[in-house]
Amino acid sequence: MNNNVISKSTFSLLNVDYVKLNKSWNYRNIISPFYRLYYIDGGFGHLFYANKTVILEKDFLYLIPCFTLCNYQCPEFLSQYYIHILEETPDGTSLFSSHQNVIKIPAELSDLEHFKRILVLNPGRDLKRSSNPKDYQKQPVIRNSQAMNNDLPISAFMETKGITLQLLSRFLTPENYSFSVGKIIPSKIIESINYINTNLSENLTVNDLAERAGQNKDYFSRIFQEHTASRPLSYIQQKRVEKAQFLIITTDLSLSQIASDTGFESLSYFSRIFKNITGQTPGSYGKNDHTI
């Protein structure tokens, strides 16, 4: 992903708060259509994802990209600032689409000041009304949280956007975001990625994509994998499942309709690919317990 692609993304604040957690903060299969940023200032906890364990500890900053499946646990006590950020792009690409890993970095003094400042600028943006994602992750609730940005004074709105970008930029160093370092993605691959993300409901084949790019199928597949770390078919399936995840937790559409809207030829095929990628069936995915 190059700077031109990133510049098309819009990052908007959904929620921000400072919370003190205890042993009741123990949840499985947490997944959200937005980014979660944490600054830990006391105690400790654990994040479990993809057979990995990340320790939440004081004076560290954490980023959980959207659609990253995690289990959360607090053995005793944990205090943290959190920010939820929604990314929107015209072509459906994501800044961390190839980096769905929890990123942990040592915090700097400016990070804490940024969290405190964005909290002051945005009062009443907490989740104390509910910790159930079925309440706050539905599309109308997300839209309401976004709409609150329009109620901010213009100076607070601009400062909030600036702080949000500064915090996200902390995770885009070569050590944490090496995929994009030193690589210039060919325009034909960028065009193919954009075409995939904006036509997920259509019949997408590797042959058609290669033909659109004016390349041999095998050559196209090799170059595509070199710059995305995925074969074209795997990439298509991943993006279709990500869109399905978003639709499951933010709409009331039936699974059959979601399968159709995301380009799967049948509900059974959709269910099989969905489980292969997420480890869950589409039905169980929408029923899991979550928290902030």
What are the structural domains, with CATH classification, of the chain?
3-179 (2.60.120.10), 185-285 (1.10.10.60)
pLDDT reading at 282 higher than 80: yes
CB 167 within 8 A of CB 37: yes
Reply yes or no on whether the pLDDT at 184 is more than 70. no
Task: Identify the residue whose tokens are 């939440």.
Answer: 56
Q: What is the mean pLDDT of residues 175-190?
A: 66
Burial of 89 (C-beta count, 10 Å sphere; 0-12/13-18/19+): middle
Q: For 7-30, what is each residue's pLDDT tens digit?
A: 678 899 999 999 999 998 888 777
Select the more confidently predicted residue: 6 or 167.
Answer: 167
Distance from chain centroid for Cα 148:
21
In angstroms, the CA 193 to CA 164 distance is 26
Window from 116-125, 136-145, 220-229, 275-284 with minimum mean pLDDT: 136-145
Exposed, middle or buried: residue 228 (CB in 10 Å: 0-12, 13-18, 19+)? buried
For the chain, give the secondary structure using H, E and C.
CCHHHHCCCEEEEEEEEEEEECCCCEEEEECCCCEEEEEEEEEEEEEEECCEEEEEECCEEEEECCCCCEEEECCCCEEEEEEEEEEECCCCCCCCCCCCCCEEEECCHHHHHHHHHHHHHCCCCCCCCCCCHHHHCCHHHHHHHHHHHHHCCHHHHHHHHHHHHHHHHCCCCCCCCHHHCCCCCCHHHHHHHHHHHHCCCCCCCHHHHHHHHCCCHHHHHHHHHHHHCCCHHHHHHHHHHHHHHHHHHHCCCCHHHHHHHCCCCCHHHHHHHHHHHHCCCHHHHCCCCCCC
Compute the distance between CA of residue 292 and CA of residue 266 in angstroms, rounded to an integer: 34
How far is it, in rounded angstroms, from Cα 112 to Cα 16? 13
pLDDT for the residue numbered 105 = 96
Give the C-alpha separation, 7 to 3, whole Å.
Answer: 6
C-alpha–C-alpha distance, residues 277 and 165, integer Å: 30
pLDDT bracket for residue 98 (50, 70, 90): low
Beta carbons within 8 Å of 170's beta carbon, 6+ residues apart: 61, 105, 108, 111
Sign of the CA dihedral with 141 first, then 40, 37, and 30 last: negative
Q: What is the mean pLDDT of residues 202-229?
A: 92
Q: What is the pTM of this model?
A: 0.74
Higher pLDDT, 110 or 129: 110
